[in-house]
Structure 1
C-alpha cells in the first residue's frame, strides 16, 4: 500500500512539474545569437522555440542603430522555428530583434534579442582599371566617323560649285574666241573679194565701146564716106 502511494505521489509530482514547462513556449536559440558581434550583416533572423508556434500569430521586428525598421516582410512559421527576412543592414551598431508569439497553451510570449554589427557593409568591388591602350581602342571603336561614307560635305559642295563655275566661264570664253575668229575670217574674206572685184571693173572700163568719132575715122573725119 505504501509503495502504491509512493508511486502515485511521484507521478503527480512529475505531472505537476511538466505541465508548467509545456504551458509557455521558450526561446531556446537564435541566429544571430543574443549578444553576438558580427562582422557581416545577416540576411534573416531565425528564432527557435521549445514547442511549436501557432501559425498566423508570430510577429517579429528589427530596429537598427538609427531606430529604422529593418524587417523585410512578415515572419514565417515552420513548427517551432520563426524566420524573418531583413533589409540590407549597412550601418554599424546595435540591432534589436523583438518578437511576440502565441504559445501552445494559447498564452502570448514576448521577448527580444540583440546583436551588434561591427563594420558597415562594404561596397561592391570595383572592376580593374583598363589600360590606356584598351581605353583608346574602345573609344576609337565606339566613336562614329565624323562624316559617314558617301556623304557630301559643305566643303566638297563648295569645291564642286567652284569647278562648275570655272568650267562655265571657260566655255563662255572659248565661245567668245570662236565668235571673234569667225568675224575676223569673215572680214578677211570680204576684203579679198573686194580686191578681186576692183581690177575686173577697171578692165571692163578699158574695153568700153567706141564713140561715134572713132567709128567715123577719128577726129579728122577720116573714114567718112
Structure 2
C-alpha cells in the first residue's frame, strides 16, 4: 500500500515538473496563405510566457529578417511588428520564449504571402525614398534575435530549475515518509 502511494506521488510530481508552455496558435495561422503582408505577427501559448528573453523572427523566402521593433508579451500572446515583406512566398516565424515554468520553448510556424508589400518609398508622399537600415534585427543593442533554425535547436538552458531536481526532491520526500512509516511499525 505504501509503495503504491509513493509511486502515485512520484508520478504526479514528475508530471507537473515537465509542464512547459505549448503554442496554441499564431497570426498569421500556421500553414495559411495571406493575401497581403501583415504589419505584425504573433504566437499564442496556453500559459503566459515570461517577458524576459522572448524573441520572434520573421524570415522571408530569401533568408532576410523582417521583424522590426520590440517583442511584446501580453497575457499569452507574444508579438513583434513586421517591416515590408518584398517577396511573395513562404515566411517563417521563429519563436523562443521562457515558459511560465522557467524552461525555454522554441519552434517555428510558417505562412505564405500571396502579394508582397509595396517597396519603401513607393507611395507618393513627396518625401524621397530612404534606404532600409542594414540592421533588420529590431533590437536596440544591435544583437540579432535567434534565427528560426536556432530557435528550433536544442535546449541550451534558460536559468530555470531543471525538472530532474523536482523528481529527486519527490523521491527523497517519499522515501523519507516510507522509512518513517516502516520505522513506526517496527
| TM-score for both structures, normalised by structure 2 | 0.56
Higher helix share: 1
The 5-angstrom pairing of residues 1-225 of structure 1 reads 12=9, 15-16=12-13, 18-19=15-16, 22=19, 24-121=20-117
Between the two proteins, the alignment pairs up a number of residues equal to 122
CA distance in 2, matches of 1:90, 1:9: 60
* Contact 1:58/1:102 (<8 A) preserved: yes
Check whether the contact 1:60–1:74 (CA below 8 A) recurs between aligned residues.
no
Q: Secondary structure at the match of 1:77?
A: strand
Alpha-carbon RMSD across the aligned residues, in angstroms, is: 3.0
Classify the secondary structure of the residue corresponding to 2:52.
Answer: coil
Greater relative contact order: 1 or 2 (C-alpha under 8 angstroms, separation 6 or more)? 2
Please state how far the C-alpha of 1:89 moved relative to its aligned partner.
Answer: 1.7
Write the distance in 1 (CA, Å) between the matches of 2:28 and 2:14: 31
Superposition deviation, residue 28 in structure 1? 0.8
| Distance across 2 between alignment mates of 1:26 and 1:42 | 24
**1:48-87 deviation line (CA, Å, top 9, x unaligned):** 1111111221011111122111001121011221011100
Aligned partners of 1:93 and 1:116 also within 8 Å: yes
Give the number of the structure whose alpha-carbon radius of gyration is greater.
1
Q: Is the 8 A contact 1:75 1:83 kept in 2?
A: yes
Q: Which has the higher strand share?
A: 2
- Structure 2 unaligned segments of length 5 or more: list them: 125-186
Q: Which residue does the alignment assign to 1:165?
A: none
Instruction: State how far apart, in whole Å, the 1-side matches of 2:29 and 2:6 are.
Output: 40
In structure 2, the residue matched to 1:195 is: none
Counterparts of 1:125 and 1:53 in 2: how far apart (Å)?
A: 38
